[in-house]
């Protein structure tokens, strides 16, 4: 099936892929509001370590989450080369700090494989499924578990 045929198909899914450490993750393009360079956040007191702080997104206060730290990987030391992907999850806008955006993909939903049964908690909690692209494995991020957990802990803190 050619790319255009896939796009026409009802089961087609457009994804934004990005690098976190040496892993590759992706999210549905429809939940991405914008991608911007990293800017210094204002840290929030008494929040979990993976909440880096808040930034000013044209007048809205948007929280920024260090995705690597959230996934249990090494904490990111962000620099100007890092990017923040602003996600729209339901009513909330949340920024994810990642190393770089790597690809925009169009795939059929049937290509998504179930998450292999591994011992990592992060993998079980945050990965909805995996994709095989050429030689790479791309994890489909489950935003619903990554982000509401942030708010819930924020409230609890």
Partner 1 sequence: MDSMADIKQTFFQECDDLLGELESGLLDMESGEGDSETVAAIFRAVHSIKGGAGAFGLDKLVAFAHIFETTLDEVRADRLEATPDVLSVLLRSSDVLADLVGAAQKDEELGEERTAGLVGELSAFVGASADASEEPAAVGEDIAFAPLGMDFDLDDAIGDLDGPEDTQCYTIKFRPQPELYANGNETVLLMRNLADLGEMQVACDESKIPTLDELDPEGAYLAWTITMHTSHSESELLEVFEFVEGDCELEISLDEAPSDTTESDLVDNEATPTGEEVATTDVEGASASAEDEVANKDNVVQLAEQKDKQKPAAAAKASTEKDTSDATIRVNLGRIDRLVNLVGELVINQAMLTQGVIDAGLERGDSVESGLEELKQLTREIQESVMAIRAQPVKALFQRMSRIVREAARATKKSVHLVMEGEMTEVDKTVVERLADPLTHMIRNAVDHGLETAEERIANGKPAEGTVSLTAAHRSGRVVIEVSDDGAGINRERVKKIALEKGLISPDEQLSDSEVDNLLFMPGFSTVDKVSNLSGRGVGMDVVKRAIQAVGGKISISSKPGKGSTFSISLPLTLAILDGMVVEVADQTLVVPLTAIVETLKPTPSDIHELGAGAKVISIRGEFIPVIDAGRSMGYRNEPVDPLHGVVLSVETEDGARAAVIVDTIQDQRQVVIKSLEENFGHVASVAAATILGDGRIALILDVDSIIAREGSARLFHETNLAATG
Q: Measured between alpha carbons, how far is 74 from 127 in angstroms, rounded to an integer?
A: 18
Q: Facing residues of 113 across strands?
A: 130
Which member of 30, 61, 100, 104 binds partner 1 (CB under 8 A)?
61
Cβ atoms within 10 Å, residue 140: 22
CB of 78 to partner 1, least distance (A): 16
- Least gap, CB of 29 to partner 1 (angstroms): 20
Cite the DSSP H helix spans in the chain: 3-8, 67-70, 121-126, 143-146, 148-156
**Binder among 34, 36, 60, 109 for partner 1 (CB under 8 A):** 60
Q: In whole angstroms, what is the distance from residue 16 CA to residue 25 CA?
A: 8
Residues numbered 11-50 forming contacts with partner 1, rule: CB under 8 A: 40-47
Residue number, 21 or 154, with CB nearest to partner 1: 154
Query: Which of residues 61 and 104 has its CB atom nearest to partner 1 in the complex?
Result: 61
**Nearest to partner 1 of 52, 130 (CB atom):** 52
Exactly one of 56, 113, 144, 145 binds partner 1 (CB under 8 A); which one?
Answer: 56
Q: Are the C-beta atoms of residues 87 and 70 closer than 8 Å to each other?
A: no
* Residues of span 90-149 touching partner 1 by CB under 8 A: 91-94
How many C-beta atoms surround the C-beta of residue 33 within 10 A? 16
**Residues lying near partner 1 in the complex (CB under 8 A):** 40-47, 53-56, 58-63, 91-94, 150-152, 154-155, 157
């Amino acid at each position: 099936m050619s790319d255009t045929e896939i796009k026409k198909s009802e089961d087609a899914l457009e994804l934004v892929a990005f690098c976190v450490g040496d892993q590759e993750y992706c999210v549905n393009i429809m939940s991405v509001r914008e991608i911007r360079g990293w800017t210094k956040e204002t840290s929030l007191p008494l929040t979990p370590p993976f909440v880096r702080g808040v930034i000013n997104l044209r007048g809205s206060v948007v929280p920024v989450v260090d995705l690597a730290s959230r996934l249990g990987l090494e904490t990111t030391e962000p620099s100007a080369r890092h990017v923040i992907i602003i996600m729209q999850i339901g009513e909330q806008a949340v920024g994810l700090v990642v190393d770089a955006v790597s690809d925009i993909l169009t795939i059929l939903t049937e290509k998504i494989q179930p998450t292999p049964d591994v011992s990592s908690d992060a993998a079980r909690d945050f990965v909805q499924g995996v994709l095989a692209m050429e030689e790479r494995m791309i994890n489909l991020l489950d935003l619903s578990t990554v982000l509401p957990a942030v708010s819930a802990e924020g409230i609890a803190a």
